[in-house]
A and B are shown apart, each in its own frame.
Chain A
């Protein structure tokens, strides 16, 4: 796929919208003739001039790339699909699921990640069994080339595996948790949010007595949610904070966070999801969510 074929066209659309002439835009950067050549061509161009032109229009060149890929015709909706699986919003996912499934065929890191998300969704939507999901994830893990402990795409596949199995190949859960807490979230922020949030759930479910890794990962998650307006992550973080305080013996603080989680869940979750989380909270905290809301002042 030629990801850069539209860059100059989008740049030019913005120029026209801003009422700036080609002369004004190009002055001191490139010759107008070169500008028109890039505009008509779908071939490569010089990044330095492109960055300068974009900044003259008060836009960041990276924004332009993202726009041309995601909001034009370059992307089949992979980000929308990842987002929906990550926040478990399935009402309008079918269209994105089908597009992404038809699109993914390679074995790049991003392809493997997308396949992991497809399998995760198919499992959650009961299209495949737990055993099939585990086999899919095992296959993806075996296809990872040059595993990097800092590659969030690789780590996320392991996290999905850990969610269903309570263990992962090649690492202990605590090692995986530690690696995730250390990734640079500026790269693929939303995938990092999903992996971190899910890994905290794994630690609660399968490594309850452990404190250090949970604390490390919880702090990473709290940091991530500072830059994240998505209710799902904010809400889950309240539950994880409640668990963190409980682990540290601060029962009152734990209840405060759990109350916020309960109120958010009461408004945002559908019945099946609410009942599921209420059972989990009962198991881990020994508390009834609805009773907690009603008793609070």
Chain B
């Protein structure tokens, strides 16, 4: 039964909290029925669960987080593999997680799209499939049409689209751009996710990346890119996520370099994000991403006494939007 695991996790919490079975079951169910729940003989009703949690003084939502974290750690290999891929370290993913390529059943929250797409990318990297095979199979996994009609997206959808936006053909960028514009600005798409901050910033990164990959950006594209930067900065002010700040400023700096926009503070935040990163996927590779010129710009901005007086990122917002 599906809920034996749930009952056992509940009992583990009870024991950790030094609450007796009598105390927890008082006024809810008999000791005998509690034993039957633990052995899977009977199903648990949600109101019984809620009342037991009240006696345990554990809010239902905290118990749900607890269960969700159990799931994450049960599939921690998949989660770690995906994170290494998300941060672009395909060599490490191929070397350290060979078991994922042949895993029969994927069980993490990234199991339906993101990890299968990661696996294809690693297989292509190892020469096991061609670029055409990669793209055709990735296209099936992504199923871009499902995004076009969807109003509820999950972690898996967001993560997979970010990966796909890096490899798809240029003529496939438009639906990605349209979806992400809708996800970020329309307010009509709900994020069904436990990692809402990561999902929001990934939506911004996907849109910025897709726009940057276009050979020529139209004035509308430029405006959208700037709106996305401003929206992303507003979000990063609150959430301050590492290493997403580096990924964000990396794309922002690429845009500035490509279109000759001179704002030294973009480099300041870019340099600070990578240079201070303690993230295992970036800390050892920091030197690949920055130059001496970047450091000089950073040090020069550091002398600006106003930089820490205002709100963080104040100096890198675009102020001329159409």
Contact = CB atoms under 8 A, between A and B. Distances in A.
Contact of B268 (A67, A188, A232, A267): A267
Nearest to B270: A267
A108 B49 CA distance: 17
B192 interface: yes
A2 to B, nearest CB: 8
A19 B150 CA distance: 9
A264 B60 contact: no
A230 B240 contact: yes
A65 B61 CA distance: 6
A123 interface: no
A186 B19 contact: no
Interface string A41-72: 00111111111100100111111011101110
A107 to B, nearest CB: 9
B45 interface: yes
Interface in A17-55: 17, 19, 43-52, 55
A67 B61 CA distance: 9
Interface string B47-75: 11110000001111110111111110100
A189 interface: yes
B278 A269 contact: no
Contact of A48 (B1, B48, B196): B1
Interface string A212-239: 0000000000000100011110110110
B112 A58 contact: yes
Contact of B192 (A14, A52, A263, A271): A14
Interface stretch (A86-94, A97-105, A132-140, A193-201): A86-94
A70 B64 CA distance: 11
Nearest to B2: A51
B294 interface: no
B60 A69 contact: yes
B92 interface: no
B234 to A, nearest CB: 10
Nearest to B273: A267
B17 A150 contact: yes
Nearest to A13: B152
A59 B59 CA distance: 21
Contact of A146 (B17, B190, B194, B245): B17
A51 B3 contact: yes
B8 interface: no
A48 B2 CA distance: 6
Interface stretch (B125-133, B175-183, B308-316): B308-316
Interface residues of B, number: 74
A128 interface: no
Contact of B272 (A69, A186, A266): A266
A62 B46 contact: no
B1 A270 contact: no
Contact of A63 (B13, B16, B192, B268): B192
Contacts of B273: 267
Contact of A89 (B65, B67, B238): B238
B81 interface: no
A121 B247 CA distance: 32
A3 interface: yes
A184 interface: yes
A160 interface: no
Indicate the member of B57, B69, B191 with the most A CB atoms within 10 Å.
Answer: B57
B111 to A, nearest CB: 8
Indicate the member of B64, B67, B69, B194 with the most A CB atoms within 10 Å.
Answer: B64
A231 B236 CA distance: 10
B44 interface: yes
B299 interface: yes
A234 B226 CA distance: 29
Interface of A: 3-4, 7, 13-14, 17, 19, 43-52, 55, 58-63, 65-67, 69-71, 74-75, 87, 89, 91-92, 108-110, 146, 148, 150-151, 184-189, 225, 229-232, 234-235, 237-238, 260-261, 263-264, 266-271, 274, 290, 293-294
Given A44-B46, A188-B65, 19 more contacts: A3-B60, A4-B47, A4-B50, A19-B146, A48-B2, A63-B109, A87-B240, A110-B62, A146-B17, A186-B70, A187-B66, A229-B198, A230-B239, A230-B242, A238-B278, A263-B272, A263-B276, A271-B309, A294-B302
8 contacts: A44-B45, A58-B156, A235-B242, A260-B276, A260-B277, A261-B276, A264-B276, A267-B269
